[in-house]
Structure 1
């Protein structure tokens, strides 16, 4: 070990220190490159996640808009169906039959109102006379599959009568504050009754 002296030992230590430094730089570069690659991959993954989240938000907004449109269309369809059922309600179930005129000092018009439906209806029948003082009305309830004989005094042939009805209806839009349905009938007696003395 004569060849190792202080100068040679210093050189060996310096060479070893240089090798350790180079190794440290190489390792640092390797790990730095690896960390940069990991950071770039994480950044790309975050970008993909943000894009996916944006797509999900867009899909959710489109689904919400489609659901709102569908709900509005369903509501409009329900309202149209309720209105159709309203229009078909009492006016399809109730018919006026057997019109008869009895002449005398106060002519009387007898009509029979028939209910072909499955529910009762309240009714008000009045003559469609322009003068309020000449308007006569009668009210009542007609049962399902039943009939009501209605006598209107002071009526003459060719006069119309107004009919107002109430009953169950799926719609929420009454035609008037009091009566749900209104219609008119042209009165033409089928035959003339006996003349009262």
Structure 2
């Protein structure tokens, strides 16, 4: 049985999107080579990336044009993977999903992702997409959170957990990085 993981970058005050631009411009300060290399470990079991509409459009706009001559080895490896792997975008407003190997899911998340969880395969990973994470939380579909906490407070935006969320979590892994970020992996108890 597969699990569904929410993979997020979060501010110390609990926000995963600033609501400005792509929403995660605040990650730049602590996203260094050490964290970039460790991100490969964080994602090593992912085989089905899932995006909400806004994240999909940003990821598609960037990664579909990668790698380039200026790409680092880590960026090059991720670009090759993400452009080749099957992907899902969840949206009720997109007319199509134009990134290669991308399937558009318009609704019925419990049925669609419940069936995907029953398959014998790797981990389903929601990348960023806080509104989609909120929907999955409401449906009880998330099995694990992999969160990189950044040493920044932005004072507002979209939180990882909407008001009223109650979860019991168990710490499965943690690591601190020299630039100030901390990685936390929590399973839903």
Same fold, TM exceeding 0.5? no
In terms of fraction of residues, the more helix-rich structure is: 1
Higher RCO, Cα 8 Å, sep 6+: 2
Normalised-by-shorter TM-score class: under 0.3
